[in-house]
Structure 1
C-alpha cells in the first residue's frame, strides 16, 4: 500500500513537491484543494480594487466597505506605465519609477484593515487601461518590423520585462506574508502576464520562464499564478509546473452553471493546485459611444449565481472583478474607454453601495462560517432527478460529512418543488485527496474509494424554492435530517438610504475663452521625434505650429495639408486663424476613429489626417497651428505598441504626397495649462461671461445628445464656480454636463478625466475629497474642450448629489 501511495504521489504531484516549491510552507503553501496560510486552510474571497482608479484620500472608505462585506483579500493590477511614466536612460536606470502609492495601498490593506493582497504586475495587464500598462516610451525600443513584439518572447521585450520586474518586485517582496510576523496579513499571490490564451505569439513558455525567473531573483517567495494561460495549466515543465493557472468567468445571464463545469474541468486538468477564479464577473466596462456599465446584464442575481456555481465546481479562490468601481482620471483609460469605470460593481464608482453589495456581503457571511469546510470538500455538478430542465446544481461534501447542495434556476419563472440529489454522479466526487505538510510535501490522505466523498453519500431528496435566475446553497450537517439544513446566502432586506447632502446647484453663467496657444511653451521639433522622446508619455493635448512663406502660385496650388502621426490620433488645425476642414477621414470626429486600419501599423509615408486649406493660405507669411488629441493606446493590440505625436506634415497639391515639407514647433501642453488656467486660484481676467440653459433637463447618459455649435477655433476653455453647503462634506456629488467638444475636466485643480461629446457618459463623479464645502468656499470646475464639427459649446451644467443607490435610467 505504501508503494502504491508513493506511485500516486509521484505521478500526480512530483513537480509541485520539487525542492524550493514553497520556500516558507509554514506560512503559505497550496495543494490540490486550497491555500494554507499559517497552517489554516483558507478559501480566498477577494475584492478587486484598483488603487490607481481611486483618489488616495478615499482608499480607507473603500477598504472599510470591502472589509465589512466579508472579503479576506483585496486584489489589484500594478500598471507599469503608471509607475514609470518617463523614459529611462536604459535597462539599468530605475530612477523614473515611483511606487509610493503602491506601497501605501499595500500597507493600508495589510496593517490597517487586516486584508491579504493579490497583485498582478503584468507586464501586460489589459484592464481596459492605456496600452495594457505598457509605457508609451517603450515603443522607442521596438525592434522594427510589422509583427507585435510586446507580450512576445522577443529578446528585447524580455529584457524590458525583466527591467520592470527588477523595479516592481522588490516593492512587492517587502510586503509578502512570508516576511511578516506569524498571523499578520501580507501579499499571498502574484500573477505573471494576463490572459495569455487571448494573444497569439510564439515562445510563450520562454517569456513565462523569464518572468518567473525575474520574480524569484527579485525576492518573491509567495506562489505565482497565471490566468487563462494553457502553457502553465498542468504543465510538466520543471519551472512552469510551479506556476498554477486560473480561470476568468464572464458568462451570460443564463449560463451561470457553466462556471461549475469549467471549474471542475480546471481542477481535473490541474489536480495539484487550487481552483481559482481570478475574475469573477462583477459587471462590465463602458465604451465611448456604447452603453454605461449600469445597463449591463450582470445584475445581483447573476452575480450570486456565478459565485455559487464556481464554489460548486470546487473554487477555493474567487476574486470579484470589479468589487469596487473607479475612474480613469487624467485620461488613463484605453482607447475607446469612457472616463467612468464604474463597472456596475458592488461598491460603485462614487462609493455608494449597489444591489450587488448585499450579495457580496451575504456570500462573505456564508464563507466566514463554511469556507474552511468547503476548502477541502469534494464533489461538483451532479444529476438532479425529477427536476425541470431549468434547475441545475450539485453537491459538495466536506471531510466531516457536511453536505453543501448548490441549486440554480436558469430560467425566468420561479421554481419550487422537490428534487432527488444524486451525489455519486458529482464531478470529482471520488478523486484521490492530498494535503501538503508543513515542509511543502504532498501527502496522500485518501485514495480513490476511501473516506467521505460525494460518491460515498446515498441519494437524498430535498424541497426547494427559487426565484427566476435565483441561486441558493443548502447546508446539511452530518447526522441531521434534510429538514435540519439551512439555506444560504442570507441577504439582508435592508438597504441603507443615501442621505441627500443638499439641493442641486444649477449653473446659469460661466466664463469662457479660447486657448492662448501663443503663450504655450514652444520648442523646435526635429522631424520624426515622438512625444515620449519629449517627455510626454501620459495623456494630454499637444500643440504644433509651423510658419511658412509662400508665393502666390504656392498659395493657390498647395490646397492640401497632410499629417503623418505615429498612431492615428486626431489633429485639428487653424490656418491663419481659420479652422481647416478635415477631408480624411470624413469630418465626423467620432472618438472611436480610427481604432485601426486593418490592424496595421501606420507607415511613415501614410497620411492619416488630411485637410482642405484652399482659400486659407495667402501670399507671404502663413501660420498653421494644430492641436493633437492623444486618443490613448489600445489595451492588447495595435496601437498598443506605437509611439505618439506628429511624425511629419506639410502642404501638397494632392492627397498622396508632400510637395512642401514644413518645419514645426511643438508645445507639450495647451497654452491654458502653461498659464495654469486649470488651477482654482488662477485669475480670470480676459474671459467672457457665457449664459447657460437653466431650465431644460440635462440627460445623465446617452449618445449623440450634445448641443450643436460651430467650429471657430481649436480649444475652448470654460470655468464654472459654485458653492456647496457645509453638510455636503464627505458625500458623493456629480456634475451633469451637456456640451459638445472633446476634452478634459478639472475640479479644484484635479484632473477628473475626459469628456467625449458622443457619450454615453454625461455625468462625472466629483470625488468628495476634492470638494470644498461651506459658505464662502468656492469650487472651480474647468473644461478644456477641443472643438469638433459641433464646436465646443457648453449648454448646461448642474452640480448634484447622488440621491439613489441605483441611478435612474432615463
Structure 2
C-alpha cells in the first residue's frame, strides 16, 4: 500500500493493524538510510543567504546551527483566532520548534478580486512572537480535506483544467501567488520572520491523467513565480517526483519529501519509501512533510479517535522509525486538527479532531504526551541526530523479533530498538561504543534480560553529554537531564517491573546510594554500569554524592514537566544558567512558572482527582503552598526530593438538557427568502456557492399517462426530489443521472421541488473542479421524447434574507433571528418522526452558562441526535452539520462564541432538513468535555 494519504484514503478500511515484518524488512531496518554525497546544485541560487538558512544531505542549518525540524500542522481557519495562542502554547510545551500551515486560497479570496490575507499574516506574527519557525504551504492546491482542495469556485466557473500548464491555470495560479507570496516574502527568516520553507503544489504524483511534460512545466512555473516574488527560503514539495529530477537546474532547487499515513504498517511502508527518497534526493535532508498525526472522519464512518492505528503508541513508533531512518525534518499532520466549520470537503464531518496530539477543543490526551516525550528526547539528543549516520556495526539482538539500529555522530549516538512481532519480548543487545577508538562492543544487560512491549519502540542515548559528564548509555529512555545548585540529575522512565541498565562516566570508583540489582566499575573506560528495577513510584539513586539518578514509571513521565527558573531565587548559590526543575506528577500541562526573591512557583493543569507530586529541589524549602494555602510536604535532603499531595475538586459544571424550543417551518415558498428565476445551469455561474442546500422549484405540464422524470446533475451530490410534496424515494440519491417512474399523473400542471445538498467539493482526485447544481430535468414517456422543464425558481439556503451572511467564511445568522413570533414547543420522547417533506424546520433554544471559574479549562459541546440532518448555529455562528448516518453527534462550542453569566442567554438554532415538526430530535443538550477538563493549580515553594 502506498504511504500517501491520497492512496491511503482508498485502502484505509483494509489497512494492516500489525507491525508484521519479514526477513527482508528486518534487513532493511538493520541498514537504515545512509546519507548520500554532500554536493549539490548551484549553491548561490539555492541558498542566497546561507548564513541564515541552508541545508545539505543531513539537515537544515539555521543561523549557523544544525537543527532537527520538529513540527506540527495547525490550520488557523480551523480554530477561532482567540484560541490560537492557547493551541500554540501547547505546541511549545511539547517541544515543537516549527508550525506548518496551509494557506487556503478559497478561504482568503472567496469572490474574485475580494481577497483578504490579514488573518494569515496575523497568524504568522503570533507564530513568530511565540518563538516558532513556520513552514508555509500556499498551494494553490492543498488537499487538506478542505472544500475543493482550496481552489475557489469562481476559478472552476472559468472551466479550464486545474493544476496544469494551461494558460488559464497558470494565470489564476499567478493571481493567487501575487496575493499570498508578498505576505510570505516579508515574513521569511531571511527578513527576520519565522518562515523557513515554502511548499509549492501538493502530492502532485496523485494528480490524475496528466502527462510528464505538463507536470514538469507546471511545477517549474510555480517555482519561478516564487523565486520572482522574492522567496529566498528553500522551496519544497511532497510526493512530486518532478522535484527529484535534479539534472534539471530548476528542479534541483526544489526539495521533494514524503508523506506517511501507515497506521500500523509502519516498517513496510515507511522504510522503503525513505530509502528511495534518499537515493533520488541525495543533496537534501530526508524529510517527511506529513507524518501521521491521526486521520480524518467522514460521514458514515468512525470518528477519528475511534479508529485503529492512530493512538499514542502508533505515533511513538512511527516517529522513532523516521528518526531511525535518518529523517531530520518531520511534521505531524495534524498536530492540532480543529473544526471544519463550513469549509469541509465533500462527505467530511464538521469535526477535524483528527485524533491529533492536541484535540479539537484544545484538550490533551496520551498522544500529546507521547509527542512531548519525543520532544524531550530531541532536546537531549537532537544535536546528535541532526548529522548522525548509520553505525558500521556490528549491532545485534538476541531475539529475532527485536531489531536494533544505531545512528552515530562523532563520538555520540542513538540506539533504536523495535519490537516486530506484536508481543512482549525479552532480549539482550550488542552495539559498538562510538566513543571508543577501538569501537569496543557493549553488551547489555550484564545480568538478566531486557523487556519490550508489543509494538514498542525505544530511542536510547549513547555517549551523550549531560550536565556533569557523560551518559554512556541507558536501556531506559530519558525524560530530562540538568543541574540544580551543584547537583546533576537525570530522569529515566520505563514500565514498572522492568530491568534498566545505566552506564555513566566516572573517573573514580563509584559509590551508589540506593538499592541496585548489580553494579560494575570499568576503570579502563572510566565507567560505572548498574542495574535497577523500575517500580510503581519515583525512586532516586545518588552516584558519588553529586549525581541524582531518578527512575519513574512511564505513566508518571507522561505527566512530568520541567520548569525553568532564575537562579537568583537561591541566594546562596551563584549560577549563570537557569534552574531546570523537574516536577514528576500526572499533570496535563505546565502553563507557566516564575519566581520571586524567596520563592518559585509553577502553574499546572490537573484533572479532577488526587495527585502525587515529586519535585527535585536544591536546598530544603521552608514552606510549600498549593494555590496559596500552606501544604504539608516531605523533603529528603540526601536526594533533594520534595513530595506533596494535590487534590483537585470535581468539575464545577453539569450538562444542560434543552427541552423548550420555539420553532418555525419553512417550505419551498416563493414568498420566503431570496429566489432567482430562469433556466438551469451551473451554480458557479450565478453567484456564491453556499455550504448548505439549494432549493429548486418548478411546475411542468403533462398529458395523462405513464411518465418518467429524468434528472441530470453536474456533480454526484445528494438530493431529495418531491412531487406534489411527496418524496420520490427512487430519486433520493447522489447519482448524476436519475430516471424515476412517476406515479400516475392527471393531465395538467404539476409541482416539482428538489433539494440539492451542497456540502463541499472533493478535496482530491479528478473531480476537484466539478461544477454544482442541476443540469437538466425532463419529463416524458421515455428518455428520447422527454421534454425539458425550462423555467425554475432557485434559492440558496439558508437564504440571505434570514439574516445569514451570504458567501463563504464563518456563516453568521442575525443575532435576533427567531427571537419573536415563533410558537413554543417542548421536546417529547417517542414522538413519531414522520416522513421526509419539502420543508425545513427552524428550532431556537436558549441556555445560560455560569461565568467560568478562572482556574478551570472547561470546553463545552453540543450533544445532538436526530432522525433528520441538521445545520447548527451558536449565537448566530455556524458550528456544525449533523447527518443521521453519523458518526458525529457531539459538536464543539468554541469558547469565544459562547456567552457566560446571567446577563445574556446563549441562542442555539437548529435547521432540521425535510421535517415540519421537531419530532426528529432525540437528544439536545449542552455539556462540558469531562475528559478534557482541568483545573489550574499553583505549586509554590519558599525559602
TM-score range, shorter chain: 0.7 to 0.9
Q: Which of 263, 266, 283 is the aligned partner of 2:277?
A: 266
After superposition, what is the alpha-carbon deviation per residue over 1:731-781, rounded to whole angstroms, capped at 9, x for unaligned?
Answer: 211111111222321111111131111101111111111111122421111
Q: What does residue 736 of structure 1 align with? A: 863
Contact kept? 2:690, 2:796, Cα under 8 Å: no
Deviation per residue, 1:132-186 (Å, 9 max, x gap):
112222222224xxxxx32233333233222222221112111111111xxxx51
Matched with 1:668 is 796
Instruction: Give, in whole Å, the separation in 1 of the partners of 2:427 and 2:191.
Output: 53
1:213 corresponds, among 224, 227, 246, to: 224
Deviations 1:295-349 (A, max 9, x none): 222211111111111111111111011111211101x211111111111111001
1:563 partner SS: strand
* TM-score, normalising length: structure 1: 0.82
User: Which position in structure 2 is the counterpart of 1:530?
Assistant: 682
- Aligned-partner SS, 1:371: helix
Q: Tell me the equivalent position of 1:470.
A: 456
Which segment is superposed worse, 201-210 or 523-532? Answer: 523-532
Structure-to-structure mapping, 1:703-742, within 5 angstroms:
709-727=834-852, 731-742=858-869
Quote the offset at 1:125 in angstroms: 1.2
Say which of 474, 488, 492 aligns to 2:478: 488
Match of 1:546 in 2: 698
Aligned CA distance change for structure 1 residues 453 and 174 (closer, same or farther; 3 Å): farther
2:440 pairs with 1:414? no
Counterpart position of 1:85: 110
In 2, the alpha carbon distance for the partners of 1:170 and 1:683 equals 44
Could you say if the C-alpha distance between residues 627 and 481 of structure 1 is closer, same or farther in structure 2, counting changes exceeding 3 Å? closer
User: Is the CA contact (8 Å cut-off) linking 1:520 and 1:669 kept in structure 2?
Assistant: no
User: 1:558 and 1:719, CA in 2 relative to 1: closer, same or farther beyond 3 A?
Assistant: farther
- Secondary structure of the corresponding residue to residue 238 of structure 1: coil
8 Å contact from structure 2 (residues 673, 801) kept in 1: no
Q: Deviations over 1:53-74 (max 9, x none)?
A: 1111111111111111110110
The answer on whether the counterparts of 2:665 and 2:916 sit within 8 Å (CA) in structure 1 is no
Whether the 8 Å CA contact 2:391–2:408 is kept in 1: the answer is no
The Cα shift of 1:637 comes to 2.0
- Deviation of 1:402 (Å): 0.6
Task: Please say if residues 68 and 329 of structure 2, whose CA atoms lie closer than 8 Å, have aligned partners that are also in contact.
Answer: yes
- Contact 1:716/1:792 (8 A) holds in 2: no
Match of 1:770 in 2: 897
Asked whether the equivalents of residues 153 and 206 of structure 1 are also in contact (C-alpha less than 8 Å), the reply is: yes
Q: Which residue of 2 aligns with 1:102?
A: 120
**Does 1:583 pair with 2:721?**
no
Q: Which runs of no fewer than 5 residues in structure 2 stay unpaired?
A: 1-35, 480-492, 494-556, 560-585, 589-605, 609-650, 805-811, 935-943
- Residue in 1 aligned with 2:408? 397
The Cα shift of 1:254 comes to 5.4
Output the CA distance in 1 between the equivalents of 2:765 and 2:832.
34
| Cα distance between partner residues in 2 of 1:764 and 1:540 | 17
**Offset of residue 454 of structure 1:** 12
Q: What does residue 49 of structure 2 align with?
A: 24
**Corresponding position: 1:120 with 2:137:** yes
Residues 241-640 of structure 1 mapped to structure 2, 5 A cutoff: 241-253=252-264, 255-256=266-267, 259-260=270-271, 262-296=273-307, 297-330=309-342, 332-379=343-390, 384-399=395-410, 401-421=411-431, 457-463=439-445, 464-477=450-463, 482=472, 487-488=477-478, 491-493=557-559, 494-496=586-588, 497-498=606-607, 500-515=651-666, 517-547=669-699, 550=701, 554=702, 556-557=704-705, 559-576=707-724, 578-584=725-731, 587=732, 593-594=734-735, 607-608=737-738, 610=740, 612=742, 614-615=744-745, 619=748, 623-640=751-768
Partners of 2:163 and 2:859 in 1: CA distance:
39
| Displacement after TM superposition at 1:45 (Å) | 0.6
Q: Distance in 1 between matches of 2:869 and 2:478?
A: 48
Aligned residue number for residue 70 of structure 2: 45
CA distance in 1, matches of 2:346, 2:391: 41
**Alpha-carbon distance between aligned partners in 2 of 1:42 and 1:482, rounded to the nearest angstrom:** 23
Instruction: Summarize the Cα distance change of 1:505–1:360 in structure 2 as closer, same or farther, 3 Å threshold.
Output: same
- Give the deviation of 1:380 after TM superposition: 6.6
Query: Residues 82-231 of structure 1 correspond to what in structure 2 (within 5 A)?
Result: 82-86=107-111, 88=112, 95-111=113-129, 113-143=130-160, 149-180=161-192, 185-200=193-208, 201-202=210-211, 203-231=214-242
Structure 1: runs of 5+ lacking an equivalent: 1-10, 89-94, 144-148, 424-451, 595-601, 697-705
3-state DSSP of counterpart to 1:346: coil
CA distance in 2: counterparts of 1:756 and 1:642, whole angstroms: 23
1:272 alignment partner, SS class:
coil
Q: Does the 8 Å CA contact 1:254/1:410 hold for their aligned counterparts?
A: no
How far 1:286 sits from its partner (Å)? 0.9
Post-superposition offset of 1:233: 2.3
Say if 1:713 and 1:481 are closer, same or farther in 2 by CA, change over 3 A.
closer
TM-superposition CA deviations, 1:81-137 (whole Å, max 9, x none): 211212x3xxxxxx22221211111111112x1111101111221111121112222
**CA-to-partner distance for each residue in 1:192-244, whole Å, 9 max, x for gaps?**
11112223321211111011011111221110011112221262211001111
Distance of 1:100 and 1:722 partners within structure 2: 34
Deviation (angstroms), 1:386: 3.8
Distance (Å, rounded) in 2 between the aligned partners of 1:373 and 1:570:
55
Aligned partner of residue 460 in structure 2, secondary structure: strand
The Cα of 1:693 is off from its aligned counterpart by 4.5
Distance (Å, rounded) in 2 between the aligned partners of 1:420 and 1:117? 40
Shift of 1:459: 3.9
Query: Contact 1:282 / 1:346 at 8 angstroms: preserved in 2?
Result: yes
Alpha-carbon displacement from aligned partner over 1:403-460 (angstroms, at most 9, x marks no partner): 211112233332233112369xxxxxxxxxxxxxxxxxxxxxxxxxxxx899984543
Q: Distance in 1 between matches of 2:828 and 2:406?
A: 61
Counterpart selection for 1:70 from 95, 98, 112: 95
Distance in 2 of aligned mates of 1:476 and 1:12: 26
Task: Indicate how the Cα distance of structure 1 residues 381 and 539 shifts in structure 2: closer, same or farther if over 3 A, else same.
Answer: farther
Q: Distance in 2 between matches of 1:346 and 1:409?
A: 23
Work out the CA distance in 1 between the residues paired with 2:345 and 2:794.
25
| More relative contact order, 1 or 2 (CA 8 Å, 6+ apart) | 1
User: Secondary structure of the equivalent of 1:172?
Assistant: helix
The DSSP-based 3-state class of the residue aligned with 1:231 is helix
Q: Retained in 2: the 8 A contact 1:525–1:663?
A: yes
Per the TM alignment, residue 475 of structure 1 is displaced from its structure 2 partner at its CA by 0.9
Cα offsets for 1:687-725 (capped at 9, x unmatched) = 33333247x9xxxxxxxxx99532233322222211112
In 2: Cα distance, 1:481 partner to 1:177 partner: 35
Maintained 8 Å contact 2:827/2:918: no
Q: Distance in 2 between matches of 1:454 and 1:567?
A: 67
- Alignment coverage as a number of residue pairs: 716
Distance 1:341 1:286, change over 3 A: same
